[in-house]
Amino acid sequence: MYCQFAKRTLFVIFIFLVVLFTSSCKQTESNQNDIESRVNNLLSEMTLEEKIGQMSQIDPGYLSDDQMNQTVREGKYGSFLNIFGVEKINALQKIAMEESRLKIPLIIGRDVIHGYRTIFPIPLGMAATWNPQIVKKAFRISSVEASSQGIRWTFAPMIDITWDPRWGRIAEGCGEDPYLASALAKAMVEGIQGDDLTDPTAVAACAKHFVGYGFAEGGRDYNTTYISEPVLRNVVLKPFKAAKDAGALTFMSAFNDLNGVPTSGNEFTLRQILRDEWHYEGMVVSDWASVTEMISHGYCANEKEAALKAITAGVDMEMSSTSYMNHLKSLIDEGKVNLTLIDEAVKNILRLKFKLGLFENPYVNPEAEKQILAPEFLDHARTVARQSAVLLKNELNTLPLSSDISSVAIIGPLADAPRDQLGTWVFDGKAENSVTPLTAIKEVLGNAKVNYAAGMTYSRDKSKTGFAGAIAAAKKSQAILFFAGEEWILSGEGQSRGEINLPGVQEELIEELAKLGKPLVVVVMAGRPLAIGNVVEQSNALLYAFHGGSMAGPALADLIFGKESPSGKLPVTFVKGSGQIPFYYYHNNTGRPANTKSWTPIDSIPVINSQASLGYKSFHLDYGFTPLFPFGYGLSYTTFKYSNLILSSTEMASNGNLTIKVSVLNDGDIDADEIVQLYIRDRVGSITRPVKELKGFKRIHLKSRETVGVTFELPASELEFFNGKENVIESGEFDLWIGPNSDEGLHSEFSIK
Ligand code: NOJ
């Protein structure tokens, strides 16, 4: 009887859910149809000038208010970037909605890369959390703050894979790995856009820079890129596909020349891949003047040709330069551009504005800005900063320090640098809202126990006059905390470096301090992976914190004094020096891979030589063949032990799935998070395959002495790759590892039949 009742109830619930689901699908479908018909109606009323206006975006910095108002009245621009103030934006929207002929709202764009006023760690730091959930929430918060200022479109996420830490923009991306970057790209897009695009806090995401920009030769920004099609498709495009699948409303074409064709005029990437293969229905904006920069590239003779090539390739909106405005009309009159191309572009733009509900509600509620810097936002920034720090060394458990310590010396140019800790690409965050490590540690220990002497005034400082004070502070303290790193201005757009060591005299000062024989903890706050081999040797513990944002100070204090264990893992391989670049863990094998036995270190070569083999293997005489730290690496205050790796089968069909289980034990006295990583190797392929590839990861929390079972599902589709001709899943033998980083782990194998 009871059983029958339960069955009936379940059935009723099931029917209710089916009805709910189908009706919500119908609703979305009907909204979509509705939008399409509104787009088409509006388009049919537009003059060519109005269409071209929608396709143009400028930073109106040089226009007076009156001039700006007039351009809006005339429908000359569809979008502005970098305009400020709720009042100003509302006034402009009022003109657009009431005084322009077709009453098309503006869309206001801005770079909100890792926070608006509440600044989160730089994206590379966020990637070190390996935690899509908290990253998604960080981007949601950024959108809540930014939208309260009238920004409904942001040029984020930046998801350029790079193998080059010299490139300043490595700070803005998610590192070297396509799998990790894809998971984060999805999280970022979902966070930026929110669940309901018409909600006033929804901001349109922009997947950038499409594509290959991170492969700039020599790490020099804006440089030429040559990327083979397998690398393009198997690596570089992956996060963009993930962003597209997550619903990214816009894409940005890049600055770089890709294999001889600038990406803002590249029909292969913008039209064939993005539109034809991926069926992308969103809008494409160029990067800042990247359309007219095709003239400098030597791909277009003049502005008019640049406009022709960009529109033909599929750039819908031109940012900053005005080749569309100046030339599209004559290109149409001359029959060089078909009006359907223009109409497609305008439809993409109008669709975006309809989707965001801008026609219904173009205005910003002045009350919304009250949420800026809300305590829960700052709390989240602290959590993200905490999870982004990577412990690279911890000799004899130097860390955590006891908060009962009698005194600490705080030294180094980044200890109290509120602007620097925010990192690059911060337009709206303010130094005055940063809490620095010095302030936070004083809060924990009280002023009396802190002996502060920066030793250097900024990271590039070459003067040693502050050394004596720093050494004196260290001498009277029980432990030394050195906050090393780079000023924010040394990474980011146009801010590449040839050498990636610690700038200024930081290494010398650290060496002096190490001589004192006291526990020496170095915290590095930087916009890129630095070559810190010497510092690792000199220090007893080293925490790599990137630029951690507004709450970097409290987050670091939490870790230093053991409120929580560090849990970040490197999203990028750390090299020993610039000469090792590029060095990424998923490289293909050589015919002569090196190993410890085959490497001849430069100093062990005898002085008198005849032509002889020094191993004839792939290595550098000076650096060897291993990086400083491998991808995925990061220590904890506890130790984790992996055991019982079990695969559901040793064979998988090419449309099958493997279930993989492993046990992880927290073998220490404190609770902590571990990031469990799954790698595979396709041993033989129709083209050579990487020595390892990340195919899964999970951040888990383990209580002291707890063992947790972790399960991964590996669908065969994850093993698909582009072999130069087509996408294939090839039969054969595979290695599989589960472990704490790309270099260690339990091993197993399976095959695809
Ligand atoms: C140029 C940068 O490359 C791009 O990332 C940014 O979004 C635009 N400028 C707008 O500021």
> What domains are there in the chain, each with its CATH number?
640-752 (2.60.40.10)
Residues within 6 Å of ligand 1 by CB: 111, 155, 208, 287-288, 493
For the chain, give the number of residues: 753
- DSSP 8-state symbol, 658: E
Q: Which of 153, 222, 285, 493 to mutate to test the pocket of ligand 1 (most atoms within 8 A of CB)?
A: 493
Q: What integer pLDDT is reported at residue 22 of this predicted model?
A: 39
Beta bridge partners of 56: 318
CA of 511 relative to ligand 1 center, distance in Å: 40
Instruction: Clarify whether 65 is annotated catalytic.
Output: no
Q: Report the atom number in ligand 1 closest to the C-alpha of 213.
A: 3
CA of 286 relative to ligand 1 center, distance in Å: 9
The SS3 call for residue 456 is coil
Q: Which of 155, 159, 496 to mutate to test the pocket of ligand 1 (most atoms within 8 A of CB)?
A: 155
Nearest CA to ligand 1 atom 11: 111
The whole-angstrom separation of Cα 144 and Cα 190 is 13
Determine the angle formed by the axes of helices 552-560 and 437-445, rounding to 10 degrees: 50
The whole-angstrom separation of Cα 556 and Cα 125 is 13
Amino acid at 629: F
Q: Which residues of the chain have pLDDT under 70?
A: 1-30
Contact status, residue 73 vs residue 99, Cβ threshold 8 Å: yes
Nearest CA to ligand 1 atom 1: 288
Q: What integer pLDDT is reported at residue 532 of this predicted model?
A: 98
Q: Which of 57, 252, 263 to mutate to test the pocket of ligand 1 (most atoms within 8 A of CB)?
A: 252
Beta bridge partners of 663: 643, 709
Amino acid at 386: R
Q: Which of 319, 320, 425 to mutate to test the pocket of ligand 1 (most atoms within 8 A of CB)?
A: 319
Q: What integer pLDDT is reported at residue 30 of this predicted model?
A: 65
The whole-angstrom separation of Cα 374 and Cα 140 is 13
The angle formed by the CA atoms of residues 739, 742 and 744, to the nearest 5 degrees, is 50
Angstrom distances, CA of residue 383 to CA of 184, 379, 441, 509, 636: 17, 6, 17, 31, 16
Pairing of strands 408-411, 390-394: unpaired
Contact status, residue 664 vs residue 641, Cβ threshold 8 Å: yes
Contact status, residue 287 vs residue 253, Cβ threshold 8 Å: yes
β strands within 315-358, DSSP E:
318-319
β strands within 433-519, DSSP E:
450-452, 479-485
List pLDDT tens digits, range 249-258.
Answer: 999 999 999 9
- Region of 740 (left: φ > 0; alpha: ψ -120 to 50; beta: rest) is alpha
CA of 446 relative to ligand 1 center, distance in Å: 43
CA of 467 relative to ligand 1 center, distance in Å: 40
List pLDDT tens digits, range 366-410.
Answer: 999 999 999 999 999 999 999 999 999 999 999 999 999 999 999
The whole-angstrom separation of Cα 178 and Cα 128 is 14
β strands within 115-162, DSSP E:
153-154
Backbone angles phi, psi at 430, to 5 degrees: -125, 140
List pLDDT tens digits, range 504-525.
Answer: 999 999 999 999 999 999 999 9
CA of 145 relative to ligand 1 center, distance in Å: 20
In DSSP notation, 103-142 reads -PPPEEEE--SS-SSSPPPPHHHHHTTT-HHHHHHHHHHH
Neighbouring C-beta atoms of residue 651, cutoff 10 Å: 11
In DSSP notation, 276-313 reads IIT---SEEEE-TTTTTHHHHTTS-SSHHHHHHHHHHH
CA of 365 relative to ligand 1 center, distance in Å: 27
Nearest CA to ligand 1 atom 4: 287
Beta bridge partners of 204: 153
Nearest CA to ligand 1 atom 8: 288
Contact status, residue 584 vs residue 575, Cβ threshold 8 Å: no
pTM (whole model) above 0.85: yes
CA of 218 relative to ligand 1 center, distance in Å: 21
Amino acid at 86: V
Backbone angles phi, psi at 102, to 5 degrees: -105, 0
The whole-angstrom separation of Cα 105 and Cα 107 is 7
Q: Report the atom number in ligand 1 closest to the C-alpha of 158.
A: 5
Q: What integer pLDDT is reported at residue 603 of this predicted model?
A: 92
CA of 289 relative to ligand 1 center, distance in Å: 10
CA of 300 relative to ligand 1 center, distance in Å: 22
Q: Which member of 287, 420, 461, 673 is catalytic?
A: 287
For residue 354, give the nearest of 43, 626, 611 by alpha carbon.
43
The whole-angstrom separation of Cα 478 and Cα 517 is 10
Residue with tokens 């600055």: 255
The whole-angstrom separation of Cα 189 and Cα 187 is 6
Backbone angles phi, psi at 602, to 5 degrees: -55, -35
Q: Report the atom number in ligand 1 closest to the C-alpha of 254.
A: 3
